[in-house]
Amino acid sequence: MTARPLLVLQHAPWEGPALVARALAARAPGVELVTRSVLDHAAPDLPAPADLAGLVVLGGPMGADDDARHPGLAAERSLLARAVDADLPVLGVCLGMQLLARALGAAVHAGHGTEIGFAPVEVLADDPVLRPLGPAPTVLHWHSDAAELPSGATLLARSTVTPVQAFRAGSALGLQFHLELDAPDLEAWLASPAAGELAPGGASELRAAAAEVFPAVVPGALSGLAAFADAVRDRA
């Protein structure tokens, strides 16, 4: 019997699954990772949760409610809601977390507060993906929108600017920050249109900060993402 795949919904060419793919390859080598972009399709042919081992929804520069320009977002939110109902392992990152929150009935506030760069978050509750990072990990932020906490979800992390940095809703984990990146992936971002959001000298500052932060945070991120990969493997 063929294992069910892990579906990754990607919104920008430079924002790929990165460490998620590495964790999956190490912990669930028999599970195929399938990456798709459905942003501009009004009625994309997405699989049912029953046909998946897991779902990852990545970040991107658009807003979670930007259906007028990107009609596929509505289908993504619908799939996210059905995936949570089906107890499918789900990981939403940055925009993906905001789409997850919207799928679960929470609001997303555009332009709530910009966070770009490395800064700590305060971990408030235990979760297997965040546990290896410790109580106040320094992580990469790249966003200005912020989601509210969905009803019934557990708040896992916060920062001064962003009250909801991570939450757990059943089988689904939302991360506003970018736990999935390492140095090569960051370089891809800095060579992309996303770098236009940086102040002069910002790219050099990010590289220098990454050289200090990534040696400590990447092993913890891989360890935490292994817990997600294990859940995917068990579902496959």
| Active-site residue list | 94, 178, 180
Are 7 and 44 in contact by the 8 Å Cβ rule? The answer is: no
Please return the burial class of 29, using the count of CB atoms within 10 Å of its CB with bins 0-12, 13-18 and 19+: exposed
Q: What is the DSSP string of 108-176?
A: EETTS--EEEEEE-EE-S--TTTGGG-SS-EEEEEES-EEPPPTTPEEEEE-SS-S-SEEEETTEEEES
Instruction: Tell me which DSSP letter residue 205 carries.
Output: H
